[in-house]
Amino acid sequence: MNGVRPFLVLTSTNYNDNSGTVTGIPCSNKEFATKGQVLITKEILKEGKVSGVIKTEMLTTISKGRLGRYIGRLNDRGSVIVGDKLEYFLVPLRKKIKKE
């Protein structure tokens, strides 16, 4: 169960080089995305041939040892889309903090 899985790394290369962990979002091989997820298509990839869904609701930190080989990179549009979905996912937290 805790094997190598597709994973979108969000933390910076500098952080990753100096830490045993990375923070990011797991991906699945599904062919459709729910409201808070991102369907991976060639339109959001800068390089690579990746398909599936970025599961933004599963934001997590994992050991670098669980990372496999590099398989692709998002383009600017893909980064904006993922950022928007993360904001959608985290907005309730931000609203709660403003009320306090």
Q: pLDDT digit string (tens) for 51-98?
A: 899 999 999 999 988 888 888 899 999 999 999 999 888 877 656 555
Residue 2 lies in a domain: no
pTM (predicted TM-score): 0.81
pLDDT at 91: 78
Residue 1 lies in a domain: no
Residue 30 lies in a domain: yes
Full residue range of the structural domain in which residue 19 is found: 7-99
pLDDT at 56: 93
Domain count, the chain: 1
Residue 42 lies in a domain: yes
pLDDT at 95: 60
* CA 29 vs CA 12, 17, 71, 96: distances in Å: 25, 28, 14, 33
Q: The domain spanning residue 84 has which CATH number?
A: 2.30.30.110
Tens digit of each residue's pLDDT (9 = 90 or more) over 14-27 = 998 999 999 999 99
Residue 57 lies in a domain: yes
